A and B are shown apart, each in its own frame.
Chain A
Amino acid sequence: MNAATETREIVTVTVGEISLRGTYHRSDSPADQSGSKRTGVLFVNAGFLPRASIGDSAVYLADSLAQCGYPSFRFDLTGLGDSDGDVPAPLLDFMNSGGYAPILSATVRELVERFSLSGLIIFGHCGGATSALFSAAITKECTGLILLDPYFFLPVERTKVRAELSHWVSRDRFGALASAVYHFLKHVRLLLRRNRPPSNANLPLIGCWKQLASAGLPILVLKAPALKTRGTKPRVGEFDYLGYLQALAGRNSRIAIEFIESTDHSFANLQGRTAVRHHTEQWLNAVTERRPVLEFAERCEGNVRGSEVECGR
């Protein structure tokens, strides 16, 4: 057994008594030999999933970004995947309150130091986006964020009754009507509240966003289609968090929001992962002001296969 392949290496970061297990996707870009420090990308678990993520989409993305010159890391947080420790209970509350931020922040610092990076951009999906935001707020080595379907409210586990109700609503004509009325009433309530976040908004998380965005930290948000809506706007009756957060960010902010069609919340299907790679590569090249040499531009272009993206533009 080897600790590495031609392109990947198993890495461990120990924080206190906890060892986190991860995979390093080597980048053999010319920048590696030039001596200039590179920007890396760190992927964290999407919720409780292991670091490969659904359909191994994180593996695919990390491989692709490494090929384009960005050394990439995927790590399992405490209690998840191959890492040490017990899963914090209840996990969802722990994540939503920024419980993973200290250990993730320490991991970022350790990787930047060990791999001589200029900084790390944290890539978080769903619950991972929450951990990424909380961590970035306490980590100066974090030089950007890529957030897939972040949420800014405090979700609760769906009860069985609620799940049954949703099922009925989606199958029954009267259910659909009841749902439309319900969401219309929610919409009226939102109007009466004058664009104030709902009572279950994750205010500490929104505070982190405001701090980071107003300080000019580059943030890329990628959104998948949600139920009964198109684009980045939520369905009728739901609070428009992204609109609110953009307004909150101020003039110095460097926020990019992209909508990805033909995928779902996992971003794992071919269209989803290809589009995520496309947007991520373009955005990374822009925020790192990197102009890859022709060879690498061609390689990135080849990776995109059929899309119109050109790496480095």
Chain B
Amino acid sequence: MQSQHSLGSNPLEQAGYFKVSGAHLYTVLHGSVDPVARVLLVGPFASERHHSYIPWVRWARYLAARRIECLRYDYRGIGESTGVFENMSFDTWKKDVDLLAGWLESQSPHVPLMLHGLELGALLAAKAFDAGVGDGLLLWSPPASANQALRATLSRRISIEQAFKYGDERKPSSYYIGQLESGGFLEVEGYQWSGRLWQESFGFELPAGMAGEGAVASMSERPLRIVKLDQGMAPLTKGSSVGYDAVNRDFTGLFADNFGWIAQSLGILQEGNSERCN
């Protein structure tokens, strides 16, 4: 751990590069004085990152203001992180979760660590949690498999593309999926998806027992919650379209509810503490 770069007017918000094999992960630590818990935020995949960025940052700031320190980051090969996207795999991205969770935990082992993932990030967080990482898990709209997440992104790309094409120029979904299934590359919103990534996505699934909102309480002794976000939650989650009108959407209700759950489940919302946490 070396020096980080503080975010100007908020010295507790620090950006940095976390060195991993062959790349640097871009991270932003939303610090808190005397934190009562830590959360590793595992954001959505590739192009979804860009649309959900504003509310995702707001969520991190919301938690940090309530003494829950957060670390958010960009996947290897995506956003501000270095690395070549085409060379990445779900296992690589899963390793990054493990490394960052380990680093965050090492900052103060006496403070509980929660993993929180959104969409594909929920899948990565769930895998890490299933392997024993973290004291709690919060999932927002986890897909059943990585392939489900990729398909949702692909369908959106196809429908946008079709809006600009006519007649025979329009290709059905099977045309694009065929390219991936034959092992080729497909450009999706500026990212080169490989056939290999597509094939791997089928086997990268949510751990058994985490499939539904109601099916989680008994799965683990550690706290676990799954929240399904509907399309009204765009741009935090995929919407039919994300325009300027959605940028400033108020997520206070969602944030308050989930903060309440984190605080309660980690036992940090205690008498005398609740006011400070709120």
Contacts and interface: CB of A to CB of B under 8 A. Distances in A.
A49 B189 CA distance: 13
A170 B80 CA distance: 37
B15 A166 contact: no
Contacts of B244: 47-48, 90-92, 157
B53 interface: yes
B163 A266 contact: no
A52 B15 contact: no
A8 B16 CA distance: 11
Given A2-B2, A56-B190, A48 B7 contact: no
B166 to A, nearest CB: 7
B174 interface: no
A234 interface: no
A269 interface: yes
A200 interface: no
A4 interface: yes
B163 A166 contact: yes
Contacts of A170: 162-163, 166
Query: From DSSP, what is the main secondary structure of chain B's interface residues?
Result: mixed
B54 A79 contact: yes
Interface stretch (A12-20, A34-42, A142-150, A246-254): A12-20
Interface string B240-277: 01011101100000000000000000000000000000
A269 B10 CA distance: 36
A87 B248 contact: yes
A240 interface: no
A222 to B, nearest CB: 16
Contact of B190 (A12, A81, A158, A268): A268
Given A5-B17, A56-B78, A49 B28 contact: no
A121 B5 CA distance: 26
A73 B36 CA distance: 37
Interface in B177-213: 187, 189-192
A188 interface: no
Nearest to B10: A84
Contacts of B51: 49
A137 interface: no
A87 B55 CA distance: 11
A195 B19 CA distance: 57
A17 to B, nearest CB: 6
A23 B17 CA distance: 12
Contact of B18 (A1, A21, A82): A1
B115 to A, nearest CB: 19
Nearest to A166: B163
B190 A57 contact: yes
Contact of B189 (A52, A227, A268): A268
Interface string A158-188: 1000010011001000001000000000000
B191 A10 contact: no
B28 to A, nearest CB: 6
A176 B166 CA distance: 10
Interface residues of A, number: 52
B9 A54 contact: no
Contacts of B166: 170, 176
A2 B79 contact: no
Contacts of A10: 5, 15-17
Contacts of B3: 1-3
A51 B54 CA distance: 12
B24 interface: yes
Contacts of A23: 80
Given A1-B27, A158-B243, A55 B189 contact: yes
Nearest to A225: B164
A119 interface: no
A266 B189 contact: yes
Contacts of B162: 170
Contact of A157 (B57, B85, B243): B243
B5 A18 contact: no
B190 A266 contact: yes
Contacts of B47: 54-55
B109 interface: no
A81 B163 contact: no
Contacts of B24: 2, 5
Interface string B1-45: 111111111100011111100001001110000000000000000
Given A81-B57, A90-B244, A167-B163, 11 more contacts: A1-B3, A2-B24, A5-B24, A8-B82, A55-B189, A84-B7, A84-B9, A91-B244, A91-B247, A163-B241, A269-B190
20 contacts: A1-B2, A2-B2, A2-B16, A2-B17, A2-B19, A2-B24, A3-B4, A3-B16, A4-B17, A8-B17, A10-B17, A19-B10, A53-B50, A54-B50, A82-B57, A84-B8, A89-B248, A91-B247, A170-B162, A268-B189
Leading 8 A-B pairs by shortest Cβ distance: A55-B190, A19-B8, A1-B16, A268-B190, A3-B5, A92-B244, A10-B5, A50-B53
